[in-house]
Amino acid sequence: MSTGVGQAATFAGADSSSEVSELSLLRNGQAYLWDLQAHRELYGLLPDLSADEIVDRVRSAGLTGRGGAGFPAHLKIAAARARGRHAVVVANGSESEPASLKDKALMLHRPFLIIEGAWLAAKAVSASKIYFYIHDYRHVHASLQRALSQLRQQDVSIEIAIAPNGYVSGESSAAVNFLNNQIALPTFSRPIDTGVNGAPTVVFNVETLAQMASIARIGSAAFRSLGTPNSPGSRLLTLSGGVFSPGTVVELLHPSPTMEVLEAAGGATAEPLAYLIGGYGGRFVPPFELLGAEENGSLGCGLVGVVPEGACGLNEAQRLFGFLASQSAKQCGPCQFGLPALQAKLPAALGTRPSRRAERSVIRLIREIAGRGGCSHPDAATAMLNSAIATFSEEVHLHRNRKCSAKGPQPVFKV
Amino acid sequence: MHTRLALDRIACNGHGICALMAPSCITLDRWGYPIIISEEIDENTLREAKRATKACPARALTLS
């Protein structure tokens, strides 16, 4: 199924057993649902829950944010309710990770589910205003508009805001800053304290909202029957890098040691040397750690990229780092000046003629930059680099001997 | 009741005056941006921290 958002995004059913499919978010990847009738036939009506019931269900379901940070959804709701004022809900669909497509795919294929989830969140925090914060993808925009025109709710108004491109524009405070000031850059103040028009604001990833609509229907026990105790519920993954169909979006129902989830994208093109998980600002892990990440839910935005044999993980990491450095909002010195300074040192430290001196200064720079930004962008960039150095330690030795294992198609991850 | 020194890194423009005013609380990195040595402020460092907070042209430091 093509989504028309650059790469083809396909929904693939990971498990064909009908019992499980009735509980899954996508109900086994059935086609486009841009007609309300079809949506209701597949999912049934949304139960009419009170605000307290919504909070209870989300809490006992153990739903965590699907945008990257994995923050417990009920805590966000509770924080807004504790403010004792009318809050604002932002449905964040501004998926800014270059290889991640799951939010775009979800907005295209299941727009009604996201809108229902946004209603539930609005009811829970007594909000009368919902903003959909998305990037300028024509088909995504059209899908949401079409769904909104069919599905209305009294006393809640929904508006779509189109965010400018940029890696950090999807950060929750950047979303609020854009809605307030038309500046899609992170701020020091937190959305829950000073959000849209000064009101307490909860920013939820669109998949998190869709999961709320699912929990409202199937209940929290059924939700917990998917996933693991540490990571309840299913989650959407984007399969990327060295797989035959990069850009495939799949719903992970249960982590499995055999990694059959990769089959949804036609399997790996070569033996995986490592995985990149959680996006370009995520981390590289050796193959045996992927299952643990799935079980703990530490998958960030759900990107799972294969680094196949024949690729050089250090070259990949350097290119990704260069991209992240270019995406600094340039608001904080350590990020604005530190990331490019670090990038400039990388060829001499991680290339095929590395000098110990450059290696030492890279390590020093990483320490100097991490934890010193207004948002977590410099932390994510340096953590990704650290993970590459640790995961590709054999490649580090090869490079020290002026060899490199890059021979397959390059680059694996496009920026 | 502890006093904490907080830095708004987005407001900070790297003037560097804070490190002159409060050398025992703040140093500067190679680009001239502050590194907070310890966020916890005690009676020995409170005067310095107050001075730095007042002197910051970007109003990026707060004591709470």
Instruction: Report pLDDT digits (tens) over A25-80.
Output: 988 666 677 789 989 989 999 999 999 999 999 999 999 999 998 999 999 999 99
Q: Do B12 and A338 touch (CB under 8 A)?
A: no
User: What residues have CB less than 8 Å from A297, skipping those under 6 apart?
Assistant: A64, A70, A227, A228, A230, A231, A235
Instruction: Report pLDDT digits (tens) over A103-133.
Output: 999 999 999 999 999 999 999 999 999 999 9
Distance to chain A for B61, nearest Cα, Å: 12
**By the CB < 8 Å criterion, does B9 face chain A?**
yes
Distance to chain A for B57, nearest Cα, Å: 16
What pLDDT score does A154 carry?
75
**Strand order across the A272-277 sheet:** A11-12, A248-252, A235-241, A303-308, A272-277, A283-285
Instruction: Report pLDDT digits (tens) over A79-105.
Output: 999 998 899 999 999 999 999 999 999
Distance to chain A for B24, nearest Cα, Å: 19
Residues 13-52 of B with CB under 8 A from A: 14, 29-33, 35
Task: Among A187, A188, A334, select the one facing B33 at the smallest CB separation.
Answer: A334
**By the CB < 8 Å criterion, does A186 face chain B?**
yes
- Mean of all residue pLDDT scores within chain A: 91
User: What residues have CB less than 8 Å from A50, skipping those under 6 apart?
Assistant: none
Q: Is the fold of A9-224 the same as that of A313-400?
A: no
- Tokens 């450095």 locate to A325
Assess whether pLDDT exceeds 70 at residue A4: no
If you measure CA to CA, which chain A residue comes closest to B8? A188
At A223, the pLDDT band (50, 70, 90 cuts) reads very high
Number of Cβ atoms within 10 Å of the Cβ of A44:
9
Residues of chain B in contact with residue A370, where contact means CB-CB under 8 angstroms, are none
Assess whether pLDDT exceeds 80 at residue A409: no
Q: Which amino acid is at A279?
A: G
If you measure CA to CA, which chain B residue comes closest to A370? B35
Task: Tell me the mean pLDDT in the region A213-241.
Answer: 95
Q: Which of A324, A52, A88 is nearest to A204 (CA)?
A: A88
Number of Cβ atoms within 10 Å of the Cβ of A111:
29
CA–CA distance, A257 with A268 (Å, rounded to integer): 15
The whole-model pTM stands at 0.92
Helix (H, G, I), strand (E, B) or coil at A36: helix
Q: Do A333 and B33 touch (CB under 8 A)?
A: yes
What pLDDT score does A323 carry?
97
**By the CB < 8 Å criterion, does A372 face chain B?**
yes
Contact status, residue B64 vs residue B4, Cβ threshold 8 Å: yes
Q: Do A332 and B12 touch (CB under 8 A)?
A: yes
Instruction: Report pLDDT digits (tens) over A144-191.
Output: 999 999 988 778 999 999 999 999 999 999 999 999 999 999 998 899
Distance to chain B for A338, nearest Cα, Å: 8
Q: What proportion of chain A, given as a percentage, has pLDDT over 90?
A: 83
Q: Do A188 and B35 touch (CB under 8 A)?
A: no
Number of Cβ atoms within 10 Å of the Cβ of A362:
22
Assess whether pLDDT exceeds 90 at residue A239: yes
Instruction: Report pLDDT digits (tens) over B25-63.
Output: 999 999 999 999 989 999 999 999 999 999 999 999 999
Instruction: Report pLDDT digits (tens) over A322-365.
Output: 999 999 999 999 999 999 999 999 999 999 999 999 999 999 99
What pLDDT score does A152 carry?
81
Query: To the nearest 5 percent, what fractions of chain B are helix, strand and coil?
Result: 25, 25, 50
Residues 373-392 of A with CB under 8 A from B: 373-374
Cα B36 to chain center, whole Å? Answer: 6
Q: Do B10 and A186 touch (CB under 8 A)?
A: yes
| Cα–Cα distance list, A141 to A93, A100, A138, A152, A301 (Å) | 10, 17, 5, 17, 21
At A12, the pLDDT band (50, 70, 90 cuts) reads low
Assess whether pLDDT exceeds 60 at residue A268: yes
If you measure CA to CA, which chain B residue comes closest to A332? B10
Task: Among A337, A368, A373, select the one facing B9 at the smallest CB separation.
Answer: A373
Cα A408 to chain center, whole Å? Answer: 28
CA–CA distance, A241 with A276 (Å, rounded to integer): 9
Q: Which of A66, A92, A65 is nearest to A79 (CA)?
A: A65
Contact status, residue A279 vs residue A303, Cβ threshold 8 Å: yes
Contact status, residue A209 vs residue A114, Cβ threshold 8 Å: yes
Q: What proportion of chain A, given as a percentage, has pLDDT over 70?
A: 94
CA–CA distance, A75 with A64 (Å, rounded to integer): 9
Q: Do A373 and B31 touch (CB under 8 A)?
A: no
Which residues are bridge partners to A133 per DSSP? A92, A161
Phi, psi of A125 (to 5 degrees): -105, 15
Distance to chain A for B32, nearest Cα, Å: 8
Assess whether pLDDT exceeds 70 at residue A8: no
What pLDDT score does A2 carry?
35
- Extents of the domains making up chain A: 9-224, 313-400
Residues of chain A in contact with residue B12, where contact means CB-CB under 8 angstroms, are 332-333
Assess whether pLDDT exceeds 60 at residue A18: no
Global ipTM: 0.91
Assess whether pLDDT exceeds 50 at residue A1: no
Residues of chain A in contact with residue B31, where contact means CB-CB under 8 angstroms, are 333-334, 337-338
Task: Tell me the mean pLDDT in the region A265-285.
Answer: 95
Quickly name the fold that domain A9-224 has: Rossmann fold (3.40.50)
Q: Do B12 and A333 touch (CB under 8 A)?
A: yes
The dotted CATH code for A313-400 is: 1.20.1440.230
**By the CB < 8 Å criterion, does B12 face chain A?**
yes
